[in-house]
Amino acid sequence: MLKIQNLNSYYGRSKALDDVTLNIEAGKITGIAGRNGTGKTTFLKTIMGLTDRSDGQLTLNGTDISAYLTHERARAGIAYVPQGREIIPDFSVRENILMGAYADPEKRIGIPEIVPELFPYLINNLDRAGGVLSGGQQQQLAIARALAARPKLLLLDEPNEGIQPSIVAEIEQVILRLNSEFGLTIILVEQNIGFLRRACAHFAMLEKGHVVEGGRIDGLTDDAVQSHMMI
């Protein structure tokens, strides 16, 4: 689905991603792991066109999107759920979800049918302000907003970070269902190695902006984790 070749990314003069080459397989979850500060979030932002500058090649379903602006990448079928969720607190649940719909290339401005099935709480509270929701509910809202764009590829940046333990299992189950039942291709940045091993078909381990390990998920061994994630 997404072919990434010799991808570099910069914040100002600082190089944050260095010569990353990966193939993201359609219909699978690819996990991105590594210590804090190794370029995982930058990797997702670069795919979305959100860093100061990047070079290399991104090919989505055979189309070179390297020169696309962020909104063009969204309309091409990429949706991004950022770390920290970034919902608009003064907007209602409904308004937050509908923001994502403006990236739908078919301009279907509405709540997709998948959202009530996955997030009944949101549907029962469409008029509540996003800012009064719990962290876990806001994460549900951020995912629902992304789904409103009807994406082909979903980028998730640490979706379980800062969420109460009682909701973590629900979020994990949603991610698994999005892939297994709805066929969504997902790139998942996640620190929980157990969840990566359960959810992903492939992985890449980043260190200082480089891919230092990668391949099938059974290659995410305890030795690899010890070498590249433990302090």
pLDDT in tens, 31-72: 999 999 999 999 999 999 999 999 999 999 999 999 999 999
Average pLDDT over every residue of 113-132: 95
- At 5 the pLDDT is 97
Residue 195 C-alpha from the chain's centroid: 15
Helix (H, G, I), strand (E, B) or coil at 6: strand
- At 109 the pLDDT is 87
HEC secondary structure over 123-156:
HCCCCCEHHHCCHHHHHHHHHHHHHCCCCCEEEE
Task: Please determine, for residue 231, whether its predicted confidence score (pLDDT) is greater than 70.
Answer: no
The residue extents of the domains of the chain are 2-87+152-228
- At 212 the pLDDT is 94
pLDDT in tens, 10-20: 998 899 999 99
pLDDT in tens, 80-94: 999 988 999 999 999
- At 162 the pLDDT is 83
Q: How confident is the model at residue 230 (pLDDT cuts 50, 70, 90)?
A: confident
Task: Please determine, for residue 181, whether its predicted confidence score (pLDDT) is greater than 80.
Answer: yes
DSSP class of residue 92? B
CATH number of 2-87+152-228: 3.40.50.300
